[in-house]
């Protein structure tokens, strides 16, 4: 993915005198890297560069970020930033983990970075986000010997804003473009479904062979015919072994599901939050009703 050069007004559109404002968690995590830099005066100057239009161009080309920053000299300084990429074997582990948890894929497709995304990368022993500032490689042709200099730091701020627009840029810097990542996820999913279908076919074949050999028909479990039986258990339970408690911390199924990728409606910006709040309220009410019913069932 290659972004065309931007002019000053385009680059600084999302920036304000107050800063980047409230941001998604993955942008905040990126900004923590640059905010950990101990030379605060240099960061103040870098922020001014980013906000006031000194960054004359910024392009995301493959695995690198190329930018030009106007300093005190006549010509803009050339800046490059990049991250260490994951090899194909590492990406194989990541893709396998992403495929096993459908919520991750659904959130990424909705443009949301899953809060626990690092668990998918842990399988490869690598990380998506840099752990420390030194893991972000950078170059600038300015005379300043410090790294990051104020020109590089200005690009850090703008990269945070770019990540807010498209979290897939982080994957691109690690070696997988958006299109390639989604293509690989789809292929992994097809392989899993094919393996499940093959296993089901083999099991069915073995059952058919057994029926033919023994001439004894195998009746289906009643729950297959009547699905409501899945939720019934009519055996006697030892009261000493059964303990009914509410969910820890009041959690419901929605808490376990994590963030839901809801579509946004510009005319009703608060609709999504109100809908989720209603679901949580209903979940708590139903959980309380279930608790009362379970406690009084044996009376």
Closest CA to 5 of 50, 54, 49, 67: 67
Residue 116 belongs to a domain: no
Q: Retrieve residue 208's tokens.
A: 């058919």
Residue 16, pLDDT score: 45
pLDDT tens for 5-27 read 344 434 444 444 445 556 788 88
How much of the chain exceeds pLDDT 90, in percent? 14
Cα(273)–Cα(293) distance, integer angstroms: 30
- Indicate whether 165 and 250 sit together in one domain: no
The kind and range of the H/E element at 80 are: strand 77-82
Average pLDDT value for residue range 176-196 = 82
Closest CA to 196 of 99, 93, 94, 124: 99
Sheet with 77-82, side-by-side order of all strands? 55-61, 64-69, 77-82, 137-140
- Indicate whether 239 and 137 sit together in one domain: no
Parallel, antiparallel, or unpaired: how do β-strands 77-82 and 64-69 relate? Answer: antiparallel
DSSP string, 56-120: EEEEEETTEEEEEE--SSSSPEEEEEE-PPP-HHHHHHHHHHHHH-HHHHHHHHTT---TTTHHH
Q: Whole-angstrom distance between the N-terminal and C-terminal Cα of the chain?
A: 66
- Domain range holding 136? 8-86+126-176
Q: Is the pLDDT of residue 240 over 60?
A: no
> How many separate domains does the chain show?
2
Residue 294, pLDDT score: 64
Residues, the chain: 299
Q: Choose one of 109, 143, 176: the last residue of a domain.
A: 176
Residue 151 belongs to a domain: yes
Q: If pLDDT is split at 50, 70 and 90, which confidence band does 215 have?
A: low
Coil, strand or helix at 86: coil
Residue 193 belongs to a domain: no
- Indicate whether 30 and 168 sit together in one domain: yes
Helix, strand, coil tally for the chain in percent (to 5): 55, 10, 35
Q: What pTM did the predictor assign?
A: 0.56
- Indicate whether 269 and 149 sit together in one domain: no
Coil, strand or helix at 157: helix
């Amino acid at each position: 993915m290659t972004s065309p050069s931007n002019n000053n007004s385009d680059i600084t559109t999302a920036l304000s005198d107050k800063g980047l404002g409230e941001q998604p968690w993955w942008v905040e995590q990126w900004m923590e890297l640059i905010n950990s830099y101990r030379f605060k005066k240099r960061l103040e100057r870098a922020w001014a560069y980013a906000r006031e239009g000194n960054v004359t161009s910024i392009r995301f080309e493959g695995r690198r970020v190329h930018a030009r920053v106007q300093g005190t000299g006549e010509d803009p300084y050339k800046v490059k930033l990049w991250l260490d990429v994951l090899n194909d074997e590492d990406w194989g582990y990541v893709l396998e983990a992403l495929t096993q948890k459908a919520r991750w894929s659904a959130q990424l497709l909705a443009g949301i970075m899953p809060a626990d995304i690092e668990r998918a990368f842990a399988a490869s022993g690598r990380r998506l986000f840099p752990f420390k500032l030194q893991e972000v490689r950078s170059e600038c042709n300015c005379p300043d010997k410090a790294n990051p200099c104020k020109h590089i730091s200005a690009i850090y701020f703008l990269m945070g804003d770019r990540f807010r627009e498209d979290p897939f840029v982080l994957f691109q810097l690690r070696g997988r473009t958006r299109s390639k990542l989604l293509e690989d996820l789809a292929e992994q999913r097809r392989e899993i479904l094919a393996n499940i279908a093959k296993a089901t076919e083999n099991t069915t074949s073995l059952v058919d062979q057994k029926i033919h050999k023994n001439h004894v028909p195998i009746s289906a479990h009643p729950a297959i015919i009547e699905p409501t039986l899945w939720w019934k258990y009519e055996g006697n339970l030892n009261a000493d072994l059964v303990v009914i408690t509410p969910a820890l911390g009041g959690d419901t199924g929605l808490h376990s599901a994590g963030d839901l990728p809801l579509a946004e409606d510009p005319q009703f910006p608060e609709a999504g939050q109100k809908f989720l709040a209603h679901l949580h309220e209903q979940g708590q009410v139903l959980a309380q009703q279930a608790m009362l019913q379970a406690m009084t069932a044996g009376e």
